[in-house]
């Protein structure tokens, strides 16, 4: 069974945390955080439709300029999501440049800011010189993006400033039974993508012509096998408080993959509290409590460059033992 989400860490353990998630067969990608993204080539960046920013510290947001430069002539809008202040951060970036010759460019940005129980949206378009216009507001339900294929949920956390953690969940994984396809004499082709989309959208009136014959939704269901959808979560730059830990566990519960910071070793727990970061042990404990299948530590303090294995081992030990300690 081919997974729908293909995801990877873009940079090294001690570099800016960025996760690139490609949607198989969708010609589309999601980006989690927007720090140093120079390892992503232009073709990969052109596929990015949605960027989920945890907060606007430089190592999580400096890549905005690079991404915008690559997609300036793209017609597909870029959607960005972030915590309190993300709209102002985007506007500040845009004001740093002169835009007098871009009125005919098609690109536009739609920014969704999660703040005070509300999601406030703003639009910036090249046609208007990237001046901000309000684009609506809605209640923050914890779901920042909802589509037939997947949804993205958030948790509002603290890092001395508000930060967001994210979980992207495939609703259900739809796999085509090749044996049944062959038995019915049906060919592989683009029509299968349309059929899957109809299933996700609940369009029971779906019909399609295949090899000169018309097939209905019900007639085609026999070629489909349903399984649990993927879940990928991303958590970085988080104060090690009990409240944060509880919210993270709830958000990432049951994830197939959890990308999570492991900034300090547990022996420097006091330093972790002072600097508003998780320890490697805390990262492993969260993964164990949440019952995730795979934990991927990232965003380690540069002080551990000589022995990163100690940080990774501490995370995995706590994850496999599943014996959490109390937080402050």
Tens digit of each residue's pLDDT (9 = 90 or more) over 37-72: 999 999 999 999 999 999 999 999 999 999 999 999
| Helices 64-71, 86-95: inter-axial angle, 10-degree rounding | 60
Note the Cα 79 to chain centre separation in Å: 12
pLDDT score, position 326: 42
Residues 213 and 93 in one domain: no
Dist CA 17 CA 36 (whole Å): 8
Query: Are the C-beta atoms of 46 and 70 separated by less than 8 Å?
Result: yes
Residues 280 and 245 in one domain: yes
| Residue 322 falls inside a structural domain | no
Looking at 204, 227, 250, which one is the last position of a domain? 227
- Residue 31 pairs with which residues in a beta bridge? 20, 51
Between residues 179 and 123, which one has the greater pLDDT?
Answer: 123
pTM recorded for the entire structure? 0.90
Residues 110 and 207 in one domain: no
Range of the domain at 236: 5-170+231-317
| Helices 242-252, 280-289: inter-axial angle, 10-degree rounding | 50
| Residue 323 falls inside a structural domain | no
From the list 144, 203, 171, the residue with the least C-alpha distance to 4 is: 171
pLDDT score, position 84: 97
Residues 34 and 166 in one domain: yes
Dist CA 279 CA 144 (whole Å): 28
pLDDT score, position 325: 52
Residues 100 and 73 in one domain: yes
| Residue 326 falls inside a structural domain | no
225 HSE (CA, 13 A, CB side): 10
Dist CA 215 CA 223 (whole Å): 12
Looking at 186, 207, 227, which one is the last position of a domain? 227
Name residues whose C-beta falls within 8 Å of residue 230's C-beta, 6 or more positions apart in sequence: 3, 4, 5, 169, 170, 173, 256
Dist CA 78 CA 258 (whole Å): 25
Residues 138 and 213 in one domain: no
- Express each pLDDT in 180-229 by its tens digit: 888 878 888 888 878 878 887 788 888 888 888 888 888 888 888 877 78
- Express each pLDDT in 8-39 by its tens digit: 999 999 999 999 999 987 889 999 999 999 99
Residues 277 and 145 in one domain: yes
What's the N-to-C CA distance of the chain in angstroms? 43
Percent of the chain topping pLDDT 70: 98
| Residue 189 falls inside a structural domain | yes
Q: Give a three-class secondary structure readout of the chain.
A: CCCCEEEEECCCCCCCCCEEEEECCCCEEEEECCCCCCCCCHHHHHCEEEEECCCCCHHHHCCHHHHHHHHCCCCCCEEEEEECCHHHHHHHHHHCCCCCCCCCCCCEEEEEEEECCEEEEEEEEHHHCCCEEEEEEEECCCEEEECCCEEEEEEEEECCCEEEEEEEEECCEEEECHHHHHHCCCCCCCHHHHHHHHHHHCCCCCEEEECCEEEEHHHHHHHEEEECCCEEEEECCCCCCHHHHHHHHHHHCCCCEEEEECCECHHHHHHHHHHCCCEHHHHHHHHHHCCCCCEEEECCCHHHCCCHHHHHHHHHHHHHHCCCCCCC
- Express each pLDDT in 244-287 by its tens digit: 999 999 999 999 999 999 999 999 999 999 999 999 999 999 99
Residues 166 and 279 in one domain: yes
Dist CA 281 CA 287 (whole Å): 10
Residues 265 and 152 in one domain: yes
């Amino acid at each position: 069974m081919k997974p729908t989400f293909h995801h990877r860490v873009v940079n090294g353990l001690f570099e800016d945390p960025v996760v690139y998630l490609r949607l198989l067969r969708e010609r589309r990608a999601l980006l989690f955080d927007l720090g140093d993204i120079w390892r992503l080539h232009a073709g990969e960046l052109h596929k990015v439709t949605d960027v989920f920013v945890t907060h606007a510290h430089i190592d999580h947001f400096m890549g905005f300029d690079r991404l915008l430069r690559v997609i300036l002539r793209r017609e597909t809008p870029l959607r960005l999501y972030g915590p309190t202040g993300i709209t102002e951060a985007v506007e500040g970036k845009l004001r740093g440049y002169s835009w007098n010759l871009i009125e005919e460019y098609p690109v536009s940005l739609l920014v969704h800011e999660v703040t005070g129980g509300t999601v406030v949206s703003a639009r910036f378009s090249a046609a208007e010189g990237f001046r901000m216009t309000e684009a609506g507001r809605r209640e923050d339900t914890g779901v920042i993006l909802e589509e037939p294929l997947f949804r993205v949920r958030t948790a509002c956390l603290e890092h001395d400033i508000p930060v967001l953690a994210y979980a992207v969940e495939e609703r259900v994984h739809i796999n085509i039974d090749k044996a049944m396809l062959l038995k019915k004499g049906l060919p592989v082709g683009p029509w299968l993508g349309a059929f899957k989309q109809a299933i996700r959208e609940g369009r029971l009136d779906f019909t399609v012509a295949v090899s000169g014959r018309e097939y209905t939704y019900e007639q085609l269901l026999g070629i489909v096998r349903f399984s649990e959808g993927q879940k990928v979560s991303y958590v970085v730059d988080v104060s090690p408080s009990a409240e944060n830990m509880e919210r993270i566990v709830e958000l990432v519960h049951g994830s197939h993959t959890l990308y999570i910071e492991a900034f300090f070793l547990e022996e420097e727990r006091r330093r972790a509290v002072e600097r508003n970061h998780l320890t490697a042990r805390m990262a492993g404990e969260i993964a164990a409590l949440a019952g995730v299948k795979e934990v991927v530590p990232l965003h380690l303090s540069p002080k551990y460059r000589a022995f990163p294995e100690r940080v990774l081992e501490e995370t995995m030990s706590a994850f496999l033992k599943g014996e959490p300690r109390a937080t402050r």
